[in-house]
Amino acid sequence: MRETSNQKDVELEVKPKFPKISNSLRHKLKGIPYEIIANIYVQPKGVVDTISKFFPDLQWVADTIMYPVDWIYNKKRKSIFDRKWFHVPTVLNPPYAEIPQSKASPRHKEEKPLKFHIAHILQVARDSQIPTAILLPWRPEKNWQKKLQNQPDVATMYFQNPLQFQNAEGNLMPPAKFRSWLAIVGVNNTKIQIKNNSRGFCI
């Protein structure tokens, strides 16, 4: 099909944001519009390092399976809501939307509001008896946060400074406009304050 001048203009405007996308990532994200790729956020690398300092007996890993960069569009990937078991202590970074996302999405079931992701992760972590950390935005006005903070088997770790998430290519995004915290399921309720740099490492 022949491209219109408008289509070319859009491509010229958007593509420079992602000039160095690797062939493997390009294949993984095939068919995903650039505006969607621009909204993919990957947890900062320092988060796993920081949680490991406070809970050194657990071999923490950053999630690339439950919420990979193509988690909405990859129809072959198992839905997070179909998972019944976790196997290793993992730091998960679910989507932060508080309202239902577009049902036109290829996997709109995956785009439920954040509180549904949290509830499912809690259930699976407890059933698996595997400590699981959830990286979340600080939203004290939300009921889900108030309830989560008071769970006897959930420790909380607060980052004092905003984090810089990564985009789909692994490049740093600008610092977030919110503070972040970890809800650590399967650990006695304790509250930990972290003085951190933008990558999530302790300073």
The amino acid occupying position 57 is D
* Range with the poorest average pLDDT among 28-37, 84-93, 159-168: 28-37
> Is 125 among the domain residues?
yes
- 15 pLDDT above the threshold of 50: no
The pTM score is 0.82
CATH number at residue 92: 3.40.50
- Total domains, the chain: 1
Number of neighbours of residue 74 by Cβ within 10 angstroms:
18
**Residue range of the domain that includes 150:** 42-194
Return the pLDDT at 101. 63
> Is 77 among the domain residues?
yes
Cα–Cα distance, 161 to 60 (Å, whole number): 22
> Is 28 among the domain residues?
no
> Is 68 among the domain residues?
yes
> Is 16 among the domain residues?
no
Q: Are strands 180-185 and 154-159 parallel, antiparallel or unpaired?
A: antiparallel
